Amino acid sequence: MTSAWHRTRRPCCHRNPVHCIVPPYMVEYMARLADPLIRERALVALAHCAAVRAVRAFAQQMPAMMVAPSPSGRRHRLVYDARGKDSLPGKLARSEGESKTSDPAVNEAYDYSGDTFDFYHTIFGRNSLDDAGMSLVSSVHVGEADGRDRYQPMNNAFWDGSQMAYGDGDGVVFEGFTRSLDVVAHELTHGVESFSSNLLYRGQSGALNEHFADVFGVLVRQWRRGESADQASWIVGHEVLVPAPTRRGIRDMEHPGDAYRNDPYLGTDPQPDHMDRIYKGPADSGGVHINSGIPNRVFVIVAKALGGNAWETAGEIWYEAMFQLSRTSQFADLAKITAQIAGDRFDAATKKAVRTGWKKVGL
């Protein structure tokens, strides 16, 4: 018999369209550890996905606030407090124009979603994720239940197609997920992606979906801090990890496979940096968070070769490409389209830099 409970017994990140920042292989690694606290939490995350449960509650009560378009260039942010439960969105904690609260997670979700809105509006003239003034809805302090209605802080952040949700982390491996601007911008870029090429979340097209989220996730941070391509950090999610010498982030765009190494709780980053080592197995929806390392590395090579600010020439080429790709596009399609855009919108030297970047990963 297939009960509702059985249907939810799958890792959230295997389910479209919920996009989690922490990939399933990291959670699965933690579920095999001897440390009872970490293992227990990971097993709960795998068995009773907060994301899937939360989406249901959210869908029942959302329609009114979802469709609240704002005039061009006007931010409309709503931050809710889920108060440790998985029923979204929770209690309204801060809405657009209201002053800071005493809760740092509420303020971070508010400020960083505003930075992401400003980036897309200032650089690309985009009016929110859907280019029609969509409200930016976030829930913080999201928890997940263990099946006996005992809740623990969610060890993840996700975009469910309508809103962001952030957990507070376990305090051993992960900190609160609102702490990183590039994590917030990554999740919101999944929203922009869904309103552009809407790449299928499986195999190479899914890895491109993750790639765009990583690219614009770090570009929002670099733009906000005024960092040029050669000074900037290319690490995704540095601030959401409890500091340790064996881990620097969830992914490293410049050096895929090197974000964490021999970490007692996370193992070693599995991302390949070349087509020769592309992952071909079924895990992680066909390697969506694994193989994104290949195009991620290309973006950094191109941005550094072009010099200056990565969100300018390289960012413009990739933004345009996101709209030219189709739902099932593969890495080779992005290689072709980015070279074409570089030649059409910029010049032969830019086109050559893009081609050289792709050649370095075997495309």
- Interface residue list for Zn ion (CB under 5 A): 19, 213
Contact 207/146 with Cβ under 8 angstroms? Answer: no
Q: Which is nearer to Zn ion, 107 or 138 (CB)?
A: 138
Q: How far is the CB of 355 from Zn ion (least distance, A)?
A: 27
Beta-bridge partner residues of 137:
78
Q: Is 42 exposed, middle or buried (0-12, 13-18, 19+ CB in 10 A)?
A: buried
The helix/strand count (H/E) of the chain reads as 13, 10
Tell me the three state secondary structure of residue 250: coil
Q: How far is the CB of 125 from Zn ion (least distance, A)?
A: 24
φ, ψ of residue 18 to 5 degrees: the values are -80, 120
> Could you say which of 108, 144, 175, 187 is catalytic?
187
- 95: DSSP letter: E
Q: Which helix (H) or strand (E) holds 41?
A: helix 36-47
CA angle 174, 37, 56 (to 5 degrees): 65
- Cα distance between residue 117 and residue 73, in whole Å: 9
Asked about 141 being catalytic, the answer comes back as no
Q: Which is nearer to Zn ion, 188 or 314 (CB)?
A: 188
Q: How far is the CB of 201 from Zn ion (least distance, A)?
A: 9
- Cα distance between residue 136 and residue 162, in whole Å: 9
> Could you say which of 19, 76, 238, 289 is catalytic?
289
Q: Which is nearer to Zn ion, 135 or 292 (CB)?
A: 292
Cβ contacts of residue 342 below 8 Å, gap of 6+?
A: 317, 350, 351, 353, 354
Q: How far is the CB of 173 from Zn ion (least distance, A)?
A: 18
Q: How far is the CB of 19 from Zn ion (least distance, A)?
A: 4
Q: Which is nearer to Zn ion, 334 or 342 (CB)?
A: 334
315: nearest Cα among 225, 235, 233, 215: 215
Q: Which is nearer to Zn ion, 19 or 247 (CB)?
A: 19
Residues belonging to the chain: 363
Q: How far is the CB of 40 from Zn ion (least distance, A)?
A: 25
Listing DSSP states for 285-342 in one string gives HHHTTTTTHHHHHHHHHHHHHH-S-TTTHHHHHHHHHHHHS-TT--HHHHHHHHHHHH
88: nearest Cα among 78, 97, 102, 96: 78
Contact 195/169 with Cβ under 8 angstroms? Answer: no
- Cα distance between residue 323 and residue 214, in whole Å: 16
Q: Which is nearer to Zn ion, 216 or 358 (CB)?
A: 216
Q: How far is the CB of 349 from Zn ion (least distance, A)?
A: 32
Q: Which is nearer to Zn ion, 31 or 236 (CB)?
A: 236
Asked about 193 being catalytic, the answer comes back as no
Q: Looking at the annotation, which residues are catalytic?
A: 187, 289
